[in-house]
Amino acid sequence: MQRTSPRVHLDSLTDFFDIEGMTDDERWMESALREAEQAKKRKEVPVGAVIVHNGRIIGKGYNQIETLQDPTAHAEMIAITAAAAGLGSRRFEGCTLYVTLEPCAMCAGAIVLARIPRLVYGASDPKAGACGTLYNIVQDARLNHRVELVGGISGERCGGLLSDFFAAMRGNGEPGKEVPR
């Protein structure tokens, strides 16, 4: 089965959301949350990501690990692949990645390799977070690229979506079963 890279709707952010009282980061995080909802509908851990360039989404994705039986099918990886195709480049100058959960080590490495200049995430990940919680790969001075990092944008909503998902999983006769990210 192939990864699903949803077709990107290139309308501007203002076409999607009521912009009163929200920052640009909050508005774009809403798009990432919509992707996370797609994962949840498919019984995947609800993590969503969008990549924005010049005020438009150029790549988006949601977790597809269980669907594809692919441990690399994280929301960020799918969004990065879609954005690279859209940009026609492996380097993401002028882009921002919005993701509902702090990226893991694999995704943080991909963010550095793609030269994404800015990362905005919602909820911190105390078990696998590699962008400030357990590690800080994206700002490691030993690497040849460092990322501007903003955490906690819509963090309660992002974290609540994950908490609700895992509570529902435990409530369905699978107590204590770890569901992979």
Active site residues: 76
- The CA-based dihedral angle spanning residues 159, 145, 59, 101, taken in that order and rounded to the nearest 10 degrees: -10
The one-letter code for the residue type at 75 is A
> Would the CA dihedral through 121, 122, 126, 128 be positive or negative?
negative
Distance CA 43, CA 67 (A): 9
Residue 26: CB atoms within 10 Å: 17
Show the DSSP H helices in the chain as ranges. 24-41, 65-68, 75-87, 105-113, 155-171
Sequence length of the chain is: 181
The distance in angstroms from the start CA to the end CA of the chain is 19
